[in-house]
Amino acid sequence: MEEKPVTPHAAPMLDEEGRLTYIGNDGRRYVVLGFPPDIDDATTERVMESLRGSSGLFNRIERLCQSWLAQVSSQDLPEHEALVLLLTTLETSLEDALDEPDDDPDGSASSG
């Protein structure tokens, strides 16, 4: 049986063991990742503040992704497969963008 993705109900937070966690729409707590042991408390706090500060943006991205899934999911492309396609495509696109030199930081240059 396929597991459906869990929607976070709250911004991620650090638990008592220093792991990044969130509560899902099913009421369970999920561990997102553990910070490497060489990251100090100040770095951890900066990362957490950044995550908390961008929760509105994250919620917007999540709504857009849900909308995309609703539009492309079909009998030929089940929702789980559409999700895998979306995440893989985003990962590839974002990795490619990180690998490219930032010659045009505002994106105003035309291509072609």
At 7-61, the pLDDT tens digits run 777 777 777 777 778 787 777 887 776 556 677 778 878 877 887 777 788 788 8
Q: Output the average pLDDT for the chain.
A: 76
Q: What is the CA radius of gyration of the chain?
A: 17
| pTM for the whole structure | 0.47
Q: Is 27 found in the same domain as 48?
A: yes
| Number of domains the chain contains | 2
Contact 27, 8 (CB under 8 A): no
pLDDT at 96: 82
In total, the chain counts a number of residues equal to 112
Q: Is 39 found in the same domain as 17?
A: yes
Q: Is residue 59 part of a domain?
A: yes
Q: How confident is the model at residue 64 (pLDDT cuts 50, 70, 90)?
A: very high
For the chain, what percent of residues have pLDDT higher than 70?
Answer: 78
Q: Which two tokens stand for residue 6?
A: 């869990």
User: Which domain does 3 fall in, by range?
Assistant: 1-53
Q: Is 4 found in the same domain as 48?
A: yes
